[in-house]
Amino acid sequence: MDPLTSISLVANVAAFVDFGFKIVSAAREVQSSTSGTTATNVNAEVLTINFRTVVANIKGSRLAGNSQLDEARLAALVDECERLSDELLGLLDSLRARKPGSKRHVFVIALRNMMKRGEKEALEARLDRCRNQLQLEIAQRTSEKSLERLEVIAASGECQTNELAVIKRSLHDLHQLHSTTQTKLDSTSFQGLNSLLKLCGQAFENVALSKLLSSIGFEKMSDRLENIAEAHATTFNWLVDASEAVDPKASLGDLESLEAQEWLRYTEVQDSYRKVSREALTSWLLEGNGIFHIFGKPGSGKSTLLKHLLKHPAVQNMLEGWAGGKALIKCSFFFWKGGSVGQKTFSGLYRSLLCSVFKQCPELVPSIFPSLWQLCLQGGNAQLTDAEARRAFLEIMERDEVFTHRKFAFFIDGLDEFEGDDTGLVRTFLGWTRLRPDNIKICVSSRELPLFQERFSSYPKLRLHEVTSLDIMGYVKSTLEENEDLSSAVDHSLTLHLGQKIIEKAEGVLLWVSLVLRIVERGLLQEDNPEDLEAKIDGLPTELENLFQVIFKAIETEAHPIDRRRAMLTLAVCLERTSWELSNVFLHQLSFLDEYESDCNFLFKSLRQTETIEDEERLRRCRKQVNGRCRGLVSVTASSTDEPDVPIPTRRVEQVAITHRSLIEFFSKTQVREVIEAQTQGFNMTQFTSRSFVAQQMTEPDPSSIEESHLHFDILGLFKVVWYHDFMNTSIVTDVLLDLQKIPFLSSPLKVSGSESYRPMDYGWSYLWRKRAACRRIGSHKEDRTVAEIIIFLALKYGLPELLTPPEVLKGGALVQAAQKIGPQHLLMRMFDTLLASTQPSWNQLELRQYDRLLKTMAMCLRDGASPNLPVTWQQNYPLLDRFSGRISSLWEVLIWTTLCGYDQVNGMQINGQKRILTFLPIWVLFLAYGADTEFKLKVDTDHAVSLYQDAIRIVALFGKEQEDPFTPLFIPRLQNLVVDMASKQNGLLSLSDITSLLFPDNFHKFVPLLEQQGSSEQDGEEKRCAVLKSFGLDLEHWDPPPPSPVVAVFPEVFGLSINKFVLEMLGPYAVDEPQRGIVVYTKQGIELLDRNNPAHDLVDILE
């Protein structure tokens, strides 16, 4: 039994102690009775029967203990309890009055009570002994592994799905026990029960909070912060603590030298600037309000400084002093133009800050998200739109009670990296500080752009590159003097001399210093004399971009062709990841570059499992090669993780990335790209990514230690490279799958840590169902997944025809066998939402190729037996949709309703401000061809009364012979509309044929055989299917699907661009568009607020 299950067992055993005392008390009452009544005996019998049920439950479980002896002891105790309860029940039965109306019989029963006195006393003594033993067992079990695991869960909020169920059950049992007024536990045991109850409750709520936070957050949310290098040694410490300011005399050696005297005079002036800057910052931290603006040149260390301020204890102390007696809530966000959408937009800002606030103030969650919080407490998974995240954060900012006991300090980096309206961004931050001038302050950083300079001109500021000279000198000194390879070539005088030269040229740009030091180190290793080193520094340009060009040119003209090509390949690999917003390459994976270059088929030779010490040596060697070959343009950094409680393996500890975002701009230049491409000709990026990944797995010393989340992350990255780089070419995909089949542990289940592992399906259409607040995201299925299954599920995002109809080289392989084992129905369900979401407003070759592969995979699944009519579920353990909608909807029903609503309009997504047109035609054809149920009616209810809004028409979808309506109705204006016009002529009901003719008017004649095929013989049905599939180009033997074409917008008035105008017109005097709040609707129940970006969601609730 796992540790947590024993908590439930403890609760049940503890419950027996209470039952036992009630039983004994009841027995004593019978014993002391002078009248011979059996009333107390009946009460005792009921209690004993209840206890007998508890014992049966305990006996049906595996008993937990530290050893077999512990389990045997507890098992014997439970058997004893069972036997005693049976004996007591038998005794009480014998004392039952069979003829309650007979005085003689009642007298006999009373006499029997007297005669059984000794037997009852013996039973009481034995029950007392059981009580004492149970108390000992409770004390032992609540102090062993179960509590240890529970404490971990309570601290982290991360647990397995089965553990969550155990905690929930245990919490219920413990609450029942605790509420029992006559519990006879002694004070020590009762105190232990209280502690266990509190710990269970804390663990359960923290798991629910973790689920909610995972729905608010986004992929790579913390990557930018984690990837920023830590400030060097004492760099920037002086800004927040005067006692940590570096004494310039300490490192001068000969104070009488001319250079030393010049340096001291320079530092006196520099120190005065630093003092002013320190006072400005510390004063703002301690008692200031509003904005503090840190600005400077690119590469001057702004992001590094903000990260330093976030972590420095002196900053924490000063902010706590500013907060006074209130709780300090400290949040941060680092914009990054080269990152994902969330890393450079408002949506990511709001989501990140909301996560941070809730982590520090979990007590706010139930009032901000009451429905989602209840869903998470029930074990469900929430889903949050960008608009809801924004609205929730602004609601926190507007609530007076939030600030009664709290103050907020925000640190926002890289305003110049924001992608959007810069003026709106500045206005937002100023708005927060003006709304709560005494309770909100914001430290921001940016480049020296006029907009930020002007809007923040009245606030305290720090021009960073003007005050970093002493930091630069300290960095130069430690870099040169602490390098073991240079220790014999460097002295104080040379360090001072070179440091002054570098400071003079750097103009406060730390990135410039870092790159130039690589050149100096290289010169010292070559034993250049001081004059030559000085000349090299003098010859370097001060502008970063020009310096990048000098360094890149040096790599381009490197004498040794191997070093030159390997450096360019390293740059190419890193740039590939950056260009497609993929994760950085791991140093261990890059370490196979030399082997791949020597022989691209190295994977098929003898690779063996390696020990940790061998991995460390491989990493050391690769680290040195990267630093030497690339001359600082790429850096080896520590890996970040979204799962802090999951240890990072040695092979994932370090990653390789472009050193600074300024370099990304440099490498995006056409002439630079052309040089890299010319130097890396013949290199197969996809093949290297695949084979280096597989080589990692083949040399893994302990496959059982591999985390599922890590492998999922790596495989998804691999498929993204294939998708972006090779347009999912069938031969390329086949080669990659052949490589993956080399992994020796494909059939092994993986280790899972954390509350959630790979989510097989995210139901983006959850808004369609009734009670959608409880159905934001259908929970993920938790099962032991093998490596092969993970590969297959992730490959489904890009289509999987190579495994469903495998080429000869893949037949019989482990991946093909795994796909066959999963089966076509489950494969279809896994890929369905990806297929719906894959269509784009502007189709390029890459997107067309993916859509084609997904369609072909769907056709193969249907050909092999998958049905569009089966419910949307995953085996028996996947949460079924009927828990929310009253029935289980099929894939076909979901397809119909999403087509009618416009999939992305339902979810509130728009591309470049224009409606995203979806193409469902081929999917409709395939589903109908393979037996989709044609029993469907669309009810257009023109007589539906909608409280105040008499101009709305209600649209309901009715499925099956029972005409069930699982989906949230639509409301459209009573305007001229094709659907309304047609429905008015047909008693308000439209058939599937009617809807198909509206959706696909140009192809409707081809649909007719499919719509009429129900009732046809099997042979006729097969002939019709083949004919229709061929007419649409969807026959697998002659695959040529139609190009994407727009679907007719069935309800354009509601789900078109004019939705805000429609809402305001329809609601008339009951709605007003307020710029700061959104669309405000006045109803009988009070004020309702609609999201301006997507009011349809909230409108449906009001109309219903």
Domain end residue (candidates: 820, 850, 865): 865
Same domain, 406 and 286: yes
Residues 21 and 87 in one domain: yes
Q: Do 834 and 961 have their domain in common?
A: no
Candidate from 26-40, 466-480, 655-669, 914-928 with smallest mean pLDDT: 26-40
Instruction: Compute the mean pLDDT over every residue in the chain, rounded to the nearest whole number.
Output: 75
Q: φ and ψ at 919, to 5 degrees?
A: -115, 110
Query: Look-up: residue for tokens 């305990």?
Result: 58
- Other CB atoms within a 10 A radius of the CB of residue 417 amount to 19
Same domain for 935 and 902, yes or no, is yes
**Strand-strand pairing, 461-463 and 290-296:** parallel
Among candidate residues 156, 182, 216, the one where a domain is terminated: 216
Task: Answer yes or no: is 212 within a domain.
Answer: yes
The token pair at 285 is: 């931290």
The verdict on residue 688 lying in a domain is: no
Lowest mean pLDDT among 227-236, 255-264, 319-328, 838-847: 838-847
- Is there a single domain that holds both residue 65 and residue 170? yes
**pLDDT surpassing 80 at residue 419:** yes
**H or E element at residue 278:** helix 258-287
> Within a domain: residue 881?
no
**Pairwise pLDDT comparison (166 vs 428), residue with the higher score:** 428
* Gap between the Cα atoms of 393 and 404, Å rounded: 17
Do 860 and 910 fall into the same domain? Answer: no
Strand partners, 956: 939
852's tokens: 């084609």
- The CB-based long-range contact list for 944-947 (8 Å cut-off, 24+ gap) reads 946/971, 946/1103, 947/1083, 947/1084, 947/1103
Which string of b and e fits 162-201 if b means at least 16 CB within 10 Å? ebbebbbbbbebbeebeeeeebbbeeebeebbeebbebbe
273-282, 373-382, 498-507, 905-914: lowest mean pLDDT where? Answer: 905-914
The pLDDT of residue 43 is 59
- Examine the fold and report which residue of 506, 530, 554 is the final residue of a domain before the chain moves on: 530
My answer on whether 335 and 453 are in the same domain is: yes
Question: Has residue 897 got a pLDDT over 50?
Answer: yes
CATH code of residue 428 = 3.40.50.300
pLDDT digits (tens, 9 = 90+) for 90-115: 777 776 656 655 666 656 666 776 67
- Backbone Cα Rg of the chain: 36
Task: Report the pLDDT value the prediction gives residue 395, as an integer from 0 to 100.
Answer: 92
**H or E segment at 413?**
strand 406-413
Residue 764's pLDDT is 34
**Collapsing DSSP states into helix, strand and coil, what is residue 972?**
strand
- CA 845 to centroid of chain Cα atoms: 30
Residue 765: pLDDT above 60? no
**Would you say residue 874 lies in a domain?**
no
What's the pLDDT score for residue 23?
40
Is the predicted pLDDT of residue 20 greater than 50, yes or no? Answer: no
Q: What is the count of structural domains for the chain?
A: 7
Residue 849 within any structural domain of the chain: yes
Examine the domain organization and report whether 653 and 573 are in the same domain: yes
* Per-residue pLDDT, 418: 93
Q: What is the pLDDT, as a whole number, of residue 382? A: 72
Highest mean pLDDT (candidates 46-55, 378-387, 689-698)? 689-698
Decide if 1089 is inside a domain: yes
61, pLDDT greater than 70: no
Above 70 in pLDDT, residue 661?
Answer: yes
At 739 the pLDDT is 92
Mean pLDDT of 1039-1057: 52
pLDDT of residue 45: 65
838 plus 732 within the same structural domain: yes
At 925, the pLDDT band (50, 70, 90 cuts) reads very high
User: Across residues 446-460, what is the average pLDDT?
Assistant: 92
Higher pLDDT pick, 188 / 779: 188
pTM value is 0.67
DSSP E strand boundaries for 908-979 = 936-941, 952-959, 970-973
Which of the two residues, 912 and 650, has the higher pLDDT score?
650
Please check whether residues 620 and 744 belong to one and the same domain: no
* CA 520 centroid distance within chain: 44
CB 728 within 8 A of CB 801: no
pLDDT tens digits, 221-264: 887 887 787 777 678 888 888 777 666 655 555 556 666 666 66
The residue-averaged pLDDT of 646-652 equals 75
pLDDT for residue 900:
74
Q: Is the pLDDT of residue 380 over 80?
A: no
Written as one string, the DSSP assignment of 1008-1058 is HHHHT-TT--HHHHHHHHHHHHHHHT--GGG--PPPP-PPP-SSHHHHSTT
Tens-digit pLDDT profile for residues 144-199: 545 555 555 555 555 554 455 555 555 555 555 555 544 455 565 556 556 666 66
pLDDT mean over 888-892: 80
Residue at 114 is within a domain: yes
Q: Which domain holds residue 49?
A: 5-216
Can you tell me whether residue 43 is helix, strand or coil?
helix
- Examine residue 178 and state whether it is found in any structural domain, yes or no: yes
Q: How confident is the model at residue 312 (pLDDT cuts 50, 70, 90)?
A: very high
Residues 958 and 983 in one domain: yes
pLDDT in tens, 524-564: 888 888 888 888 888 888 888 888 999 999 999 988 899 99
Q: Which residue has the higher pLDDT, 759 or 348?
A: 348
Q: Is the confidence at residue 1071, as pLDDT, over 90?
A: no
Reading phi first (left if > 0) and then psi (alpha if -120 to 50, else beta), residue 1015 is in left
- Same domain membership, residue 850 and residue 723: yes
Question: How large is the average pLDDT for residues 709-727?
Answer: 81
- Those residues whose C-beta lies under 8 Å from the C-beta of residue 795, and which sit 6 or more positions away, are 719, 803
Low-confidence winner among 331-340, 587-596, 711-720, 746-755 (lowest mean pLDDT): 746-755
